[in-house]
Structure 1
Amino acid sequence: MRRHRTAPGFLLALAALLAGTVAATGSAGAAPGGPAGETPAGTAPAAARAVPLAEQRASAAFWTADRMRGAAPLDLSLTPAAAQSLRAPAAEGGATTVVPGTAPAAFPQAGAPWTGGGAVVSTSGRVFFTFQGRTASCSGNAVTSQNAGTVITAGHCVKYQGSWHTNWVFVPGYDNGQAPYGQWAASRTLTTPQWEASEDINHDIGAAVVAPLDGRTLTSVVGAQGLQFNGGYNKRMYAFGFPAASPYDGTKLIHCSGNSSKDFLLTQDHGLGCNMTGGSSGGPWFTGFDEATGRGLQVSVNSFGYTFLPNRMFGPYFGDVAKALYDRAQTS
């Protein structure tokens, strides 16, 4: 993870049942709180890019094992001036949960390879794309959705510097150049209106809808994790990702766990003790994570870190804006 001296630098190269719960299983789930895909009052619709069919078809051939191994962890940073423009998000609504989870077990040491097995091994994966003429990587996670093909990641993992990434694929369960569950090409990529307009780090959240592969949907193959919105701060969490910058090499699923807290500096994000590096951006943060099943409720993604807090990373709060993004994605 690259860390800026005085401002956050993004991680790239870096959901307890509550009111409004909707139970969903397997590969499908209904978004709670109003008609499917309805944008919460006062929330702008998510920004989206429809991926041309020719590009979708070409992506499978483009991402060879060697090209995946060689993809650079996209590394971004903000200037001090940009840090001053960070805005706190508007007040969020009441808690909403999609798919209930179970209480967390004991917490292992941060920054360790995940050896516990379970659903997270197949729902999480690496994200590959082309950015400004070069191959790059992030992380992502398959979530319960009406279209059975929604992946949640970071905003900068779908769009940056005014340009949408191309050749975007999700490789769940990535294993050193191998794709045990296949490569899933995006038919649509999306991000929050705040990230699209000004790269507001408080809303550094992205999503992709991936096309069926060999006649099957993503979550019918790899399963899906639930989500929680407006769940509050200061929770025990697990974070996962595929960091590819030293001392990691992108070949293993890495996790951190512990008690999270709210960022007291520049953002409204969650903070968690973790030493994951570039390439882990977009990897999921779970609350209510059960080590035995590898399941939890996703409440954030790996986003950024500060240079003066080298073993702590931050992820955006999943509130109304995140829910609007999810609602649009899952009905696309």
Structure 2
Amino acid sequence: MIAVTLRDIDGRAASSGRRWPANDATEDLVQPAWTGGGSISRTVGRLYATGSDGNSGACTATVVGIRTVITAAHCVRTSVKGAPARAATWDNDLCFVPGYQNGTGPHGGFIVRRVRMAENWQNDGLYVAMLEMNPGRDGRNLSEVTGTQPISFLADASGPAHFFGYPYTDRVLHCPGDTTWAPGKALLRFPCLMGMGSSGGPYVSGDAAAEGTVVAVNVSGDGNASYGTALGGFAQRLCQQSESG
């Protein structure tokens, strides 16, 4: 059994009128902006965090349950050089802004209640975190506001797919492509580069991008491609725990 680490966070709902701190690119985007609407425009958003050193950052995340958001593990923890994964420090002030666009959250902001991830989260296939969200200020669960993006833990994640992310841009970007298994790695290779901030962004299977199914989350990249963790039984277990509270 893979050890799960759990962090409870005491937070309240964020204001829907708040402008979110970001130094976003608005032109010369590294990839095209997503203009296809659908559930993607509501369920994918920016995840803000403050590291233990006080520096702020942002990743990408997706609504995949009644109260659950999925992202990459390093989006909520910061590694300690030379130390094992379980020694990583926890990030603070975790706040998710679905549909983030032009410096605002059209659906408001949601504070993370609880984080679930593997103790040894840097191991192959475990590089994922499930975030259980607090309700909004009006008492509604996140999915009642945004809807839910379908997710699969059993699908063959290779093949035609779409990658969505916020690489410090004022709107979500999009790449179509074919995912393949990276040689010598338990990671999916996606032939698209977005850069910092797109970590945690979903790889969505099939041709119907707007309503497609999340099969992996982006975790890294090199000079040629991006790489994601395919979702399997462990991610399913985390999601089930998050949904059951």
TM-score, length-scaled by structure 2? 0.87
Write out per-residue CA displacement over residues 272-315 of structure 1, whole angstroms, 9 at most, x where no aligned residue: 11121110000111113514xx1111111111122xxx231010
Structure with greater contact order relative to length (CA < 8 Å, sep ≥ 6): 1
1:314 is aligned with what amino acid?
Answer: Y
2:21 match: secondary structure:
helix
Q: Deviations over 1:146-181 (max 9, x none)?
A: xx1100000001122211111000000101221110
In the TM superposition, what is the alpha-carbon distance from 1:231 to its structure 2 partner? 1.9
1:178 aligns with 2:94: no
Distance 2:6 2:23 in 1: 28
**AA aligned opposite 1:305:** G
In structure 1, the partner of 2:14 is 60
1:272 aligned partner, one-letter code? F
1:298 equivalent among 214, 221, 235: 214
Task: Indicate how the Cα distance of structure 1 residues 225 and 289 shifts in structure 2: closer, same or farther if over 3 A, else same.
Answer: farther
247, 263, 273: which one aligns with 2:191: 273
Query: Shift of the alpha carbon at 1:229?
Result: 1.2
Q: Is 2:212 the counterpart of 1:259?
A: no
Map of 2:63 onto structure 1: 142
Partner residue in 2 for 1:26? none
Q: Distance in 2 between matches of 1:296 and 1:206?
A: 20
Check 1:220–1:289 CA distance in 2 against 1; reply closer, same or farther (3 A cut).
farther
Give the letter aligned to residue 152 of structure 2. Answer: Q
C-alpha displacement of 1:122: 0.3
Compare 311-320 and 226-235 and name the one that shifted more: 226-235
1:228 pairs with 2:152: yes
Give the drift of 1:234.
2.6
Q: Which runs of 5+ in 2 are unaligned?
A: 25-29, 80-87
Counterpart-to-counterpart distance in 2, 1:165 and 1:230? 30
Which position in structure 2 is the counterpart of 1:159? 77
The answer on whether the counterparts of 1:190 and 1:329 sit within 8 Å (CA) in structure 2 is yes
Which structure has the greater CA radius of gyration?
1
Q: Which residue number in structure 1 is paired with residue 129 of structure 2?
A: 206
Q: Out of 120, 125, 129, which is 2:40 matched to? A: 120
Q: Please state which structure has a larger fraction of its residues in strand.
A: 2
Q: Is this contact kept in 1: 2:158–2:180, CA < 8 A? A: yes
Report the Cα distance in structure 1 between the residues aligned to 2:211 and 2:174, rounded to whole angstroms.
Answer: 13
TM-score (norm 1): 0.65
**What is the distance in 2 between the residues matched to 1:46 and 1:325?**
8
Kept in 2: contact 1:289–1:297 (CA 8 A): no
The percentage of counterpart residues that share the same residue type is 30
Q: Unpaired segments of 5 or more residues in structure 1?
A: 1-42, 72-109, 245-249
Q: State the 4+ residue runs in structure 1 displaced beyond 6 angstroms.
A: none
Structure 1 residues 201 and 251, CA gap change in structure 2 (3 angstroms)? farther
Letter in 1 for 2:205: T
Equivalents in 2 of 1:173, 1:285: separation in Å? 17
Cα distance, 1:233 vs structure 2: 4.4
1:38-77 aligned within 5 A: 43-52=1-10, 56-57=11-12, 60=14, 65=19, 68-70=21-23
CA distance in 1, matches of 2:124, 2:111: 26
Give the Å deviation of 1:64: 5.1
Aligned-residue RMSD, C-alpha:
2.0
CA distance in 2, matches of 1:233, 1:285: 9
Alpha-carbon deviation of 1:243? Answer: 0.7
CA distance in 1, matches of 2:21, 2:124: 27
Inter-partner Cα distance in structure 2 for 1:236 and 1:143? 20
